[in-house]
Structure 1
Protein backbone atom coordinates (compact mmCIF):
# COMPACT_ATOMS: atom_id res chain seq x y z
CA UNK A 1 0.00 0.00 0.00
CA UNK A 2 1.54 3.32 -1.05
CA UNK A 3 1.33 6.57 0.94
CA UNK A 4 -1.71 7.89 -0.96
CA UNK A 5 -3.62 4.64 -0.40
CA UNK A 6 -2.92 4.98 3.33
CA UNK A 7 -4.53 8.44 3.41
CA UNK A 8 -7.84 8.04 1.66
CA UNK A 9 -10.51 5.66 0.48
CA UNK A 10 -9.71 3.24 -2.29
CA UNK A 11 -12.42 3.46 -5.00
CA UNK A 12 -11.55 0.00 -6.37
CA UNK A 13 -12.64 -1.66 -3.14
CA UNK A 14 -16.40 -2.38 -3.05
CA UNK A 15 -17.42 -2.17 0.59
CA UNK A 16 -20.92 -3.00 1.84
CA UNK A 17 -22.42 0.28 3.06
CA UNK A 18 -24.88 0.49 5.91
CA UNK A 19 -27.33 3.37 6.35
CA UNK A 20 -24.88 5.48 8.37
CA UNK A 21 -22.20 5.07 5.68
CA UNK A 22 -24.64 6.25 3.01
CA UNK A 23 -25.69 9.26 5.10
CA UNK A 24 -22.01 10.08 5.68
CA UNK A 25 -21.17 10.02 1.96
CA UNK A 26 -24.27 12.02 0.99
CA UNK A 27 -23.48 14.59 3.71
CA UNK A 28 -19.85 14.87 2.56
CA UNK A 29 -20.89 15.34 -1.06
CA UNK A 30 -23.58 17.81 -0.01
CA UNK A 31 -20.91 19.79 1.86
CA UNK A 32 -18.77 19.93 -1.27
CA UNK A 33 -21.74 21.01 -3.37
CA UNK A 34 -22.82 23.65 -0.87
CA UNK A 35 -19.26 24.96 -0.67
CA UNK A 36 -19.17 25.41 -4.45
CA UNK A 37 -22.47 27.29 -4.30
CA UNK A 38 -21.30 29.42 -1.35
CA UNK A 39 -18.17 30.49 -3.25
CA UNK A 40 -20.30 31.41 -6.25
CA UNK A 41 -22.63 33.43 -3.99
CA UNK A 42 -19.54 35.12 -2.50
CA UNK A 43 -18.38 35.89 -6.05
CA UNK A 44 -21.77 37.50 -6.75
CA UNK A 45 -21.72 39.46 -3.49
CA UNK A 46 -18.23 40.84 -4.08
CA UNK A 47 -19.00 41.68 -7.69
CA UNK A 48 -22.13 43.55 -6.60
CA UNK A 49 -20.05 45.31 -3.93
CA UNK A 50 -17.69 46.56 -6.63
CA UNK A 51 -20.73 47.74 -8.59
CA UNK A 52 -22.08 49.36 -5.37
CA UNK A 53 -25.37 47.45 -5.36
CA UNK A 54 -27.17 47.55 -2.00
CA UNK A 55 -27.88 43.82 -1.77
CA UNK A 56 -24.20 42.82 -1.65
CA UNK A 57 -23.87 42.78 2.20
CA UNK A 58 -26.86 40.44 2.47
CA UNK A 59 -25.43 38.08 -0.16
CA UNK A 60 -22.03 38.17 1.53
CA UNK A 61 -23.59 37.20 4.87
CA UNK A 62 -25.47 34.37 3.17
CA UNK A 63 -22.28 33.12 1.54
CA UNK A 64 -20.38 33.10 4.84
CA UNK A 65 -23.20 31.23 6.56
CA UNK A 66 -23.29 28.69 3.71
CA UNK A 67 -19.51 28.23 3.98
CA UNK A 68 -19.95 27.48 7.70
CA UNK A 69 -22.68 24.91 7.03
CA UNK A 70 -20.69 23.27 4.23
CA UNK A 71 -17.60 23.14 6.48
CA UNK A 72 -19.58 21.32 9.19
CA UNK A 73 -21.02 18.82 6.68
CA UNK A 74 -17.68 18.08 5.07
CA UNK A 75 -15.56 18.05 8.23
CA UNK A 76 -17.93 15.68 10.03
CA UNK A 77 -17.88 13.21 7.15
CA UNK A 78 -14.38 13.30 5.67
CA UNK A 79 -13.19 9.86 4.52
CA UNK A 80 -9.42 9.71 5.00
CA UNK A 81 -7.69 6.59 6.33
CA UNK A 82 -4.88 8.35 8.22
CA UNK A 83 -6.26 9.72 11.50
CA UNK A 84 -3.70 12.55 11.77
CA UNK A 85 -4.48 13.90 8.31
CA UNK A 86 -8.21 13.40 8.93
CA UNK A 87 -7.91 15.31 12.24
CA UNK A 88 -6.10 18.26 10.64
CA UNK A 89 -8.68 18.50 7.86
CA UNK A 90 -11.70 18.13 10.15
CA UNK A 91 -10.54 20.10 13.21
CA UNK A 92 -9.65 23.11 11.11
CA UNK A 93 -13.34 23.52 10.37
CA UNK A 94 -14.35 22.94 13.99
CA UNK A 95 -11.94 25.67 15.08
CA UNK A 96 -13.24 27.92 12.30
CA UNK A 97 -16.84 27.29 13.38
CA UNK A 98 -15.97 28.14 17.00
CA UNK A 99 -14.35 31.40 15.84
CA UNK A 100 -17.40 32.06 13.66
CA UNK A 101 -19.49 32.07 16.84
CA UNK A 102 -17.01 33.85 19.15
CA UNK A 103 -15.50 36.39 16.73
CA UNK A 104 -18.11 36.95 14.01
CA UNK A 105 -16.48 40.17 12.79
CA UNK A 106 -13.15 38.45 12.03
CA UNK A 107 -14.38 36.85 8.80
CA UNK A 108 -10.93 36.29 7.35
CA UNK A 109 -9.86 34.38 10.48
CA UNK A 110 -12.68 31.87 10.77
CA UNK A 111 -13.00 31.49 6.99
CA UNK A 112 -9.25 30.80 6.87
CA UNK A 113 -9.64 27.79 9.15
CA UNK A 114 -12.62 26.50 7.17
CA UNK A 115 -10.65 26.94 3.96
CA UNK A 116 -7.94 24.64 5.37
CA UNK A 117 -10.57 21.90 5.35
CA UNK A 118 -11.59 22.62 1.78
CA UNK A 119 -7.96 22.85 0.66
CA UNK A 120 -7.38 19.41 2.17
CA UNK A 121 -10.47 18.07 0.44
CA UNK A 122 -9.34 19.53 -2.89
CA UNK A 123 -5.94 17.87 -2.55
CA UNK A 124 -7.50 14.58 -1.44
CA UNK A 125 -9.94 14.57 -4.33
CA UNK A 126 -7.23 15.55 -6.83
CA UNK A 127 -5.80 12.04 -6.42
CA UNK A 128 -9.09 10.56 -7.62
CA UNK A 129 -10.20 13.08 -10.24
CA UNK A 130 -8.48 14.86 -13.05
CA UNK A 131 -10.56 18.02 -12.57
CA UNK A 132 -8.54 20.83 -14.09
CA UNK A 133 -7.48 23.34 -11.47
CA UNK A 134 -8.29 21.21 -8.42
CA UNK A 135 -4.67 21.40 -7.25
CA UNK A 136 -4.92 25.17 -7.64
CA UNK A 137 -7.81 25.47 -5.17
CA UNK A 138 -5.65 25.64 -1.99
CA UNK A 139 -3.75 28.60 -3.45
CA UNK A 140 -7.02 30.29 -4.48
CA UNK A 141 -8.43 29.82 -0.98
CA UNK A 142 -5.26 31.09 0.75
CA UNK A 143 -5.24 34.16 -1.48
CA UNK A 144 -8.97 34.65 -0.82
CA UNK A 145 -8.33 34.83 2.92
CA UNK A 146 -5.54 37.36 2.40
CA UNK A 147 -7.70 39.45 0.08
CA UNK A 148 -10.62 39.21 2.52
CA UNK A 149 -8.35 40.57 5.24
CA UNK A 150 -7.23 43.37 2.89
CA UNK A 151 -10.87 44.13 1.97
CA UNK A 152 -10.40 43.97 -1.81
CA UNK A 153 -13.80 42.91 -3.24
CA UNK A 154 -12.78 42.89 -6.92
CA UNK A 155 -9.92 40.45 -6.34
CA UNK A 156 -12.01 38.36 -3.94
CA UNK A 157 -14.74 38.13 -6.58
CA UNK A 158 -12.28 36.70 -9.11
CA UNK A 159 -10.72 34.24 -6.65
CA UNK A 160 -14.02 33.00 -5.21
CA UNK A 161 -15.58 32.74 -8.66
CA UNK A 162 -12.77 30.59 -10.00
CA UNK A 163 -12.64 28.46 -6.84
CA UNK A 164 -16.42 28.04 -6.88
CA UNK A 165 -16.38 26.96 -10.52
CA UNK A 166 -13.66 24.34 -9.90
CA UNK A 167 -15.47 23.03 -6.82
CA UNK A 168 -18.75 22.90 -8.79
CA UNK A 169 -17.07 20.69 -11.40
CA UNK A 170 -15.76 18.48 -8.57
CA UNK A 171 -19.26 18.28 -7.02
CA UNK A 172 -20.76 17.18 -10.33
CA UNK A 173 -18.10 14.49 -10.71
CA UNK A 174 -18.61 13.29 -7.11
CA UNK A 175 -22.37 12.86 -7.58
CA UNK A 176 -21.81 10.76 -10.72
CA UNK A 177 -19.89 8.04 -8.89
CA UNK A 178 -21.21 5.24 -6.66
CA UNK A 179 -21.33 5.95 -2.92
CA UNK A 180 -18.86 3.19 -2.01
CA UNK A 181 -16.07 5.05 -3.84
CA UNK A 182 -15.92 7.55 -0.96
CA UNK A 183 -15.66 4.96 1.80
CA UNK A 184 -13.11 2.56 0.32
CA UNK A 185 -11.99 -0.23 2.65
CA UNK A 186 -13.44 0.25 6.16
CA UNK A 187 -10.69 -1.92 7.66
CA UNK A 188 -8.03 0.58 6.53
CA UNK A 189 -9.26 3.49 8.64
CA UNK A 190 -7.12 4.39 11.63
CA UNK A 191 -9.22 4.93 14.73
Structure 2
Protein backbone atom coordinates (compact mmCIF):
# COMPACT_ATOMS: atom_id res chain seq x y z
CA UNK A 1 0.00 0.00 0.00
CA UNK A 2 1.29 3.41 -0.90
CA UNK A 3 2.11 6.05 1.67
CA UNK A 4 0.84 9.43 0.39
CA UNK A 5 3.02 11.30 2.88
CA UNK A 6 6.18 10.08 1.19
CA UNK A 7 6.98 11.50 -2.24
CA UNK A 8 9.10 9.09 -4.25
CA UNK A 9 10.90 10.38 -7.34
CA UNK A 10 9.11 8.74 -10.25
CA UNK A 11 10.73 7.89 -13.55
CA UNK A 12 8.91 7.69 -16.87
CA UNK A 13 8.01 4.00 -16.40
CA UNK A 14 6.59 4.67 -12.93
CA UNK A 15 4.38 7.44 -14.28
CA UNK A 16 3.31 5.32 -17.24
CA UNK A 17 2.44 2.35 -15.02
CA UNK A 18 0.31 4.52 -12.70
CA UNK A 19 -1.52 6.06 -15.66
CA UNK A 20 -2.16 2.65 -17.25
CA UNK A 21 -3.43 1.29 -13.92
CA UNK A 22 -5.83 4.22 -13.57
CA UNK A 23 -6.88 3.93 -17.22
CA UNK A 24 -7.73 0.28 -16.60
CA UNK A 25 -9.99 1.23 -13.69
CA UNK A 26 -11.68 3.89 -15.84
CA UNK A 27 -12.24 1.48 -18.74
CA UNK A 28 -13.58 -1.16 -16.36
CA UNK A 29 -16.13 1.30 -15.02
CA UNK A 30 -17.26 2.25 -18.51
CA UNK A 31 -17.31 -1.41 -19.57
CA UNK A 32 -19.54 -2.33 -16.61
CA UNK A 33 -21.98 0.45 -17.45
CA UNK A 34 -22.08 -0.68 -21.08
CA UNK A 35 -22.59 -4.29 -19.94
CA UNK A 36 -25.53 -3.05 -17.84
CA UNK A 37 -27.03 -1.44 -20.94
CA UNK A 38 -26.45 -4.65 -22.87
CA UNK A 39 -28.16 -6.69 -20.14
CA UNK A 40 -31.06 -4.24 -20.17
CA UNK A 41 -31.46 -5.01 -23.87
CA UNK A 42 -31.66 -8.72 -23.09
CA UNK A 43 -28.10 -9.77 -23.89
CA UNK A 44 -25.45 -11.14 -21.50
CA UNK A 45 -21.75 -11.50 -21.98
CA UNK A 46 -22.15 -15.26 -21.48
CA UNK A 47 -22.13 -15.68 -25.26
CA UNK A 48 -20.48 -12.86 -27.14
CA UNK A 49 -22.07 -12.84 -30.58
CA UNK A 50 -22.44 -9.33 -32.02
CA UNK A 51 -19.64 -6.81 -32.66
CA UNK A 52 -20.99 -4.58 -29.86
CA UNK A 53 -20.91 -7.51 -27.39
CA UNK A 54 -17.35 -8.26 -28.45
CA UNK A 55 -16.36 -4.63 -28.08
CA UNK A 56 -17.67 -4.48 -24.50
CA UNK A 57 -16.12 -7.82 -23.59
CA UNK A 58 -12.73 -6.79 -24.98
CA UNK A 59 -12.98 -3.47 -23.17
CA UNK A 60 -13.42 -5.34 -19.88
CA UNK A 61 -10.58 -7.70 -20.75
CA UNK A 62 -8.25 -4.86 -21.79
CA UNK A 63 -9.04 -2.93 -18.62
CA UNK A 64 -8.22 -6.04 -16.61
CA UNK A 65 -4.85 -6.56 -18.25
CA UNK A 66 -3.96 -2.85 -17.95
CA UNK A 67 -4.74 -2.70 -14.25
CA UNK A 68 -3.39 -6.14 -13.35
CA UNK A 69 -0.08 -5.60 -15.13
CA UNK A 70 0.45 -2.23 -13.45
CA UNK A 71 -0.87 -2.75 -9.93
CA UNK A 72 1.27 -1.32 -7.12
CA UNK A 73 1.02 -3.50 -4.03
CA UNK A 74 3.90 -4.04 -1.64
CA UNK A 75 3.02 -7.67 -0.87
CA UNK A 76 4.39 -10.02 -3.54
CA UNK A 77 1.76 -12.72 -3.00
CA UNK A 78 -1.20 -10.37 -3.39
CA UNK A 79 0.39 -8.72 -6.42
CA UNK A 80 1.04 -12.12 -8.02
CA UNK A 81 -2.54 -13.36 -7.50
CA UNK A 82 -4.01 -10.20 -9.00
CA UNK A 83 -1.59 -10.10 -11.92
CA UNK A 84 -1.90 -13.78 -12.83
CA UNK A 85 -5.69 -13.65 -12.63
CA UNK A 86 -5.61 -10.99 -15.32
CA UNK A 87 -3.30 -12.98 -17.57
CA UNK A 88 -5.36 -16.13 -16.97
CA UNK A 89 -8.50 -14.28 -18.08
CA UNK A 90 -6.79 -13.46 -21.36
CA UNK A 91 -5.46 -16.99 -21.78
CA UNK A 92 -8.93 -18.48 -21.24
CA UNK A 93 -10.39 -16.30 -24.00
CA UNK A 94 -7.64 -17.27 -26.42
CA UNK A 95 -8.07 -20.99 -25.69
CA UNK A 96 -11.82 -20.91 -26.26
CA UNK A 97 -13.30 -21.14 -22.77
CA UNK A 98 -16.79 -19.62 -22.26
CA UNK A 99 -16.62 -15.85 -21.86
CA UNK A 100 -18.25 -15.93 -18.41
CA UNK A 101 -15.30 -18.00 -17.11
CA UNK A 102 -12.86 -15.40 -18.39
CA UNK A 103 -15.03 -12.66 -16.90
CA UNK A 104 -14.74 -14.43 -13.56
CA UNK A 105 -10.98 -13.96 -13.61
CA UNK A 106 -11.37 -10.35 -14.74
CA UNK A 107 -13.58 -9.85 -11.72
CA UNK A 108 -10.98 -11.47 -9.43
CA UNK A 109 -8.59 -8.73 -10.55
CA UNK A 110 -11.04 -5.91 -9.85
CA UNK A 111 -12.13 -7.48 -6.59
CA UNK A 112 -8.51 -7.34 -5.48
CA UNK A 113 -8.18 -3.78 -6.73
CA UNK A 114 -11.36 -2.74 -4.92
CA UNK A 115 -10.13 -4.26 -1.66
CA UNK A 116 -6.69 -2.67 -2.11
CA UNK A 117 -8.17 0.75 -2.80
CA UNK A 118 -10.64 0.42 0.08
CA UNK A 119 -7.68 0.72 2.46
CA UNK A 120 -6.78 4.09 0.92
CA UNK A 121 -10.20 5.58 0.10
CA UNK A 122 -13.52 5.84 1.78
CA UNK A 123 -15.49 5.21 -1.39
CA UNK A 124 -18.97 4.01 -0.42
CA UNK A 125 -19.55 0.42 -1.51
CA UNK A 126 -15.96 -0.33 -2.51
CA UNK A 127 -15.73 -3.28 -0.11
CA UNK A 128 -18.93 -4.72 -1.64
CA UNK A 129 -17.38 -4.97 -5.12
CA UNK A 130 -16.04 -8.54 -4.67
CA UNK A 131 -19.44 -9.82 -3.57
CA UNK A 132 -21.24 -8.00 -6.38
CA UNK A 133 -18.81 -9.36 -8.96
CA UNK A 134 -19.17 -12.96 -7.74
CA UNK A 135 -22.93 -12.62 -8.06
CA UNK A 136 -22.46 -11.05 -11.53
CA UNK A 137 -20.48 -14.07 -12.75
CA UNK A 138 -23.17 -16.43 -11.49
CA UNK A 139 -25.94 -14.33 -13.03
CA UNK A 140 -24.06 -14.18 -16.33
CA UNK A 141 -23.69 -17.95 -16.39
CA UNK A 142 -27.38 -18.39 -15.46
CA UNK A 143 -28.63 -15.60 -17.77
CA UNK A 144 -30.33 -13.55 -15.02
CA UNK A 145 -30.64 -10.26 -16.90
CA UNK A 146 -32.55 -7.98 -14.48
CA UNK A 147 -30.09 -8.73 -11.70
CA UNK A 148 -27.15 -8.13 -14.05
CA UNK A 149 -28.43 -4.66 -14.92
CA UNK A 150 -28.44 -3.70 -11.24
CA UNK A 151 -25.08 -5.35 -10.50
CA UNK A 152 -23.20 -3.88 -13.45
CA UNK A 153 -24.71 -0.44 -12.87
CA UNK A 154 -23.73 -0.49 -9.20
CA UNK A 155 -20.21 -1.77 -9.86
CA UNK A 156 -19.73 0.66 -12.75
CA UNK A 157 -20.87 3.58 -10.61
CA UNK A 158 -18.66 2.71 -7.64
CA UNK A 159 -15.60 2.03 -9.80
CA UNK A 160 -16.32 5.18 -11.81
CA UNK A 161 -16.30 7.24 -8.63
CA UNK A 162 -13.06 5.53 -7.58
CA UNK A 163 -11.57 6.31 -10.99
CA UNK A 164 -12.59 9.96 -10.69
CA UNK A 165 -10.91 10.19 -7.28
CA UNK A 166 -7.77 8.38 -8.48
CA UNK A 167 -7.24 10.77 -11.41
CA UNK A 168 -7.39 13.72 -8.99
CA UNK A 169 -4.46 12.35 -6.94
CA UNK A 170 -0.78 12.98 -7.62
CA UNK A 171 0.86 10.00 -9.33
CA UNK A 172 3.29 9.29 -6.47
CA UNK A 173 0.38 8.36 -4.20
CA UNK A 174 0.01 5.08 -6.12
CA UNK A 175 3.67 4.11 -5.84
CA UNK A 176 4.51 4.90 -2.23
CA UNK A 177 7.96 3.94 -1.00
CA UNK A 178 9.69 1.79 -3.62
CA UNK A 179 11.93 0.19 -1.00
CA UNK A 180 8.89 -1.48 0.62
CA UNK A 181 8.02 -3.62 -2.44
CA UNK A 182 8.74 -7.31 -2.09
CA UNK A 183 10.58 -8.55 -5.15
Pair 1:20 & 2:18 matched: no
Partner of 1:72: 65
Q: How far apart, in 1, do the equivalents of 2:41 and 2:138 lie?
A: 20
Q: RMSD value over aligned CA atoms?
A: 1.3
Pair 1:44 & 2:37 matched: yes
Partner of 1:88: 81
Q: How far apart, in 2, do the equivalents of 1:126 and 1:20 lie?
A: 25
- The 5 Å alignment of 1:167-186 reads 167-186=159-178
Deviation, 1:58, is 4.1
Query: Which runs of 5 or more residues in structure 2 are unaligned?
Result: 44-48
Change (3 A) 1:59 1:161: farther
The alignment's TM-score, normalised by the length of structure 2, stands at 0.94
Q: How far apart, in 2, do the equivalents of 1:151 and 1:70 lie?
A: 23
Deviation, 1:57, is 4.5
Q: How far apart, in 1, do the equivalents of 2:53 and 2:42 lie?
A: 9
Deviation, 1:60, is 2.9
Query: Which runs of 5 or more residues in structure 1 are unaligned?
Result: 1-7, 51-55
Deviation, 1:73, is 0.4
**Which of 131, 145, 154 is the matching residue for 1:139?**
131
Helix, strand or coil: the match of 1:16? coil
Helix, strand or coil: the match of 1:49? coil
Partner of 1:123: 115
Does the CA-based 8 Å contact 1:46-1:60 persist in structure 2?
no
Deviation, 1:127, is 0.6
Number of aligned residues: 178
Deviation per residue, 1:106-148 (Å, 9 max, x gap): 1111100111000000000001111100001111100000001
Deviation, 1:62, is 1.9
Does the CA-based 8 Å contact 1:44-1:59 persist in structure 2?
no
Does the CA-based 8 Å contact 1:38-1:63 persist in structure 2?
yes
Deviation per residue, 1:55-95 (Å, 9 max, x gap): x9443322211011001100110000011110001101111
Partner of 2:46: none
Partner of 1:189: 181
**Which of 100, 112, 115 is the matching residue for 1:108?**
100
Q: How far apart, in 1, do the equivalents of 2:103 and 2:76 lie?
A: 23
Pair 1:153 & 2:145 matched: yes
